[in-house]
Structure 1
Amino acid sequence: MPMNAADIERMIKQAIPDARVTIRDLAGDGDHYAAEVVSESFRGKTRVQQHQMVYQALEGNMGGALHALALQTNAPD
């Protein structure tokens, strides 16, 4: 069963409370999303570390309920 955007946003915010999260459904099928996540907790971390934090927040749903996630992460300006 596909994940919905609200569930993805909730899971990310639960793991990274200060995150500003924007989710877009890329294909309208509930399987392909783009996410922009901005958090102070990303400051000083590599892009790979930032993405790992988001994937960890999704609790193993990547590749299962969530087929594809185009991810953009940043620390606030």
Structure 2
Amino acid sequence: MSEAMIEQIRQRLTEALAPTVLEIADEGHRHVGHAGEGKGHFHVRIASAAFAGQLPLKRHRMIYAALEGLMDNGIHALSIDATP
């Protein structure tokens, strides 16, 4: 499932934000036994011109908007590094 979810995340972020850098890591192995049973924990490193002039909170909101419907439906937790 994680490979399919990574591909969905990649597709959504690419369409919405045209990133110049996009790395997605499944970090579920680091959360086994925690809420979500270690499934659906991801880390995104993304750079996009769409983030220029935006505060970090706005960048995160843009990412969450692009992933609408996947949060709590495949994505349990998401850590983000977002730069212009």
Query: How large is the Cα RMSD of the aligned pairs?
Result: 1.9
1:21 aligns with 2:22: yes
The residue number in structure 2 matching 1:59 is 68
The total of aligned residue pairs comes to 75
TM-score norm. by structure 1 comes to 0.83
Would you say the 8 A contact 1:4–1:30 is kept in 2?
no
Pick the structure with more helix per residue: 2
Identity %: 27
Residue 30 of structure 1 and its aligned partner are, at CA, apart by 4.7
1:23-74, Cα deviation, whole Å (9 max, x unpaired)? 0001255511000110011011000000000000002321232111111100
Gaps of 5+ in 2: 30-37
TM-score norm. by structure 2 comes to 0.77
Gaps of 5+ in 1: none
Would you say the 8 A contact 2:13–2:19 is kept in 1?
no
The residue number in structure 2 matching 1:43 is 52
Counterpart Cα distance in 2 of 1:68 and 1:59: 13
